[in-house]
Each structure stands twice: as C-alpha cells, then as structure tokens.
Amino acid sequence: MSAYPRPAAVRPHILVVNGRKVRHPVFVLGAPCSGVPILARALKRSEGFHLTMGQRWVLPVVHAFARNPQLARGRAEAAATVLRDAFAQGWQVSPHCCLGCSTACREAAGAEGTGPCVGDRVISRYGDASPDLLYCAESLVDAFPDARLLQIIRDGRDAVAGMLTDPDALAWFHPGFVDLDAESAHPVIGVETAADRAEWPGLSVVGKCAMRWRGTVRLMARLRNALSAEQLITLRYEEMIRQPVAAARAISSFIGAEIGHAELRPGPDPAAEAGAWRRLLNPVQAAEVERVAGDELRRVGYGA
C-alpha cells in the first residue's frame, strides 16, 4: 500500500444523497469472520445512521477492485469516481431501495417487510460495511477524504475457524476467482511474495484461510501507519465483546456520533466466542494455521 498523502490529482468532490451532503462517512474494515457485522449492526441501529452492507450497487464494485487491484492502480481519480457513484446509488432511500440489499443488512437493521430500513428524514450520517471493503481502502479515502475508517482485528485462529464454514469467504479460493498470473501479489488472498505464490497451490483450505488472514492483517497495519488517528481507528474484537461500554465510548468519540453498547455483543453463536478455535479446529488444522501465520499471530498479540 502506498503512503499518504495521495497525489493531488484526486479533486475534492461533494456528494449529495437524499438531498443532504455526505459528511464523514464511516466505513468498517476487517478480515472475514473478524466481527465486521457486529460493529456494523451497532452503527446501523444508531440514531441518524444509514449504513449499508453488501448493497447491490456497491458490492460488485468492491469485488471488482478486490479481484483486480490493477483497476485502481495509477487511476486514483477514476477509481474514486466509480466508488462515489456506487455509494450515491447505494445510499438512496426510496420505497424499493432495500429490495436489493443483502440479508445481513436487513437483519442488522431488524427490518421487516420490504420497505426501507431507514427513514430519509432522520439520516445525518452514512456508512458501509460491505464484505471485502478493506481491499479498496485507498480508493475510499480518495473518494471521501473526510471518511472515518473503523478496522477490527480478531485472533486469526478464530477467523480461520469461521472462514471454514463461510461459503462467501471460501469462494475466493475457487479456481479462476483471482488471477495470480496478472498480479505479482494479490492482497485478497494474502499472496505477497514469490514464496507465497509457490506455496499457494499446495496449501490446504485451512492454510489458504490462514494466509488470507495474515495478508489482511498486514494490509491493515500498512493502512494504520499511512493514515492519521483522526481518519482511522483499530479495534480488537475480543476487547470489544468483553468491554462493549468502553468500545462504544471509543467509537462514538472517533466518529463524532453516539452509538449504543448493547449491540456490541456476539449473540448466541458459539463460533463468535473469543477462543472458539480451540473447539472448532483440530490439532492438525491448528498446526497449519501456526505454520502459515504464527509469526503474524504473535506480532499482533495472539501468541498464547
């Protein structure tokens, strides 16, 4: 990831949606199965927020940038424009706007029926927590220079255990889903070096999940080093679910809007517990995660 500030070629742009200027939009980033939906739910149910997750106008654009990093490389202005246009459509509120929303988005809102999950008269802030949004983070900042980015990191062993039962996460490993021949490195699957490229085809599914988590954490670290504390905050999943009041306070201060702590809990899913990998991964799988991502686990504080 290149260092900021980005080239001055990206011109300032004011986006107006539903008759209101979009100011300080909030974007939630993280590896698969790292708690993004929990954080998104808390934001989505906060007063004045219109946060989308996998909206039909947005997700194809996000996945296009994720699958083909060269689409944005050297084309900062064009990439920013494409993203702004996608969100301009995705954040529109109309009688039928939610018909193309993901199930996760409607569930996060607690929405029933087919009408909008938010009333346009109460919207004061916008945001998005689409899967794989992290992989177009640079373009997001180009598109929305005043954006607030929330990163969430989780123990890679728990994230891998979750990915193993997540069809959307596993889909990235299907043949032809990403083109390694077109890229010397591919952040969405964590391939960064010639050694990674050589190892990738022979990895088990567990190993591929571990490499993807490892690459995502490295990408998040570079992003954290490139952006200011006013632009980005990194949350630890385990601390968020154990101390939701403190987490809500930190998030509220960062984004400049109040969010409640009640939604910052994982719910009844046993896989959402901290340390669930000890039950969900067998010894061979745990050893594979350690082999591929052990150094990164320890670097970010998950060595025990």
pLDDT tens per residue, range 153-173: 999 999 999 999 999 999 999
Beta bridge partners of 232: 149
Residue 202 has pLDDT above 80, yes or no: yes
Q: Does 119 fall in a domain?
A: yes
**Which pair of tokens denotes residue 111?**
């929405």
Q: What is the CATH number of the domain that holds 51?
A: 3.40.50
Q: Does 8 fall in a domain?
A: no
Q: Does 6 fall in a domain?
A: no
Q: Nearest 5°: phi and psi at 298?
A: -70, -35
Predicted confidence at residue 178, as pLDDT, reads 84
pLDDT tens per residue, range 258-292: 999 998 988 788 889 999 999 999 999 999 999 99
Q: Does 3 fall in a domain?
A: no
**In residues, how long is the chain?**
304
Q: Does 304 fall in a domain?
A: no
Residue 100 has pLDDT above 70, yes or no: no
The whole model's pTM is what?
A: 0.91
Q: Does 206 fall in a domain?
A: yes
Residue 159 contacts residue 31 (beta carbons within 8 Å): yes
Q: Into how many domains does the chain fold?
A: 1
Q: Does 166 fall in a domain?
A: yes
Residues contacting 262, CB < 8 A, separation 6+: 244
Beta bridge partners of 20: 17
Predicted confidence at residue 56, as pLDDT, reads 87
- Taking every pair of Cα atoms in the chain, the longest distance, rounded to a whole number of angstroms, is 56
CA 192 to chain centroid: 20
Residue 29 contacts residue 149 (beta carbons within 8 Å): yes
Structural domain containing residue 206: 17-299
Q: Does 111 fall in a domain?
A: yes
What average pLDDT does range 99-107 have in this prediction?
70
Burial classification of residue 68, based on how many CB atoms lie within 10 Å of its CB (0-12 exposed, 13-18 middle, 19 or more buried):
middle
CA 121, 249, 273, 287 dihedral sign is positive
pLDDT tens per residue, range 35-92: 999 999 999 989 889 999 988 899 999 999 998 888 888 888 999 999 999 999 999 8
**How many secondary structure helices (H) and strands (E) does the chain include?**
13, 7
pLDDT tens per residue, range 147-157: 999 999 999 99
Residue 217 contacts residue 31 (beta carbons within 8 Å): yes
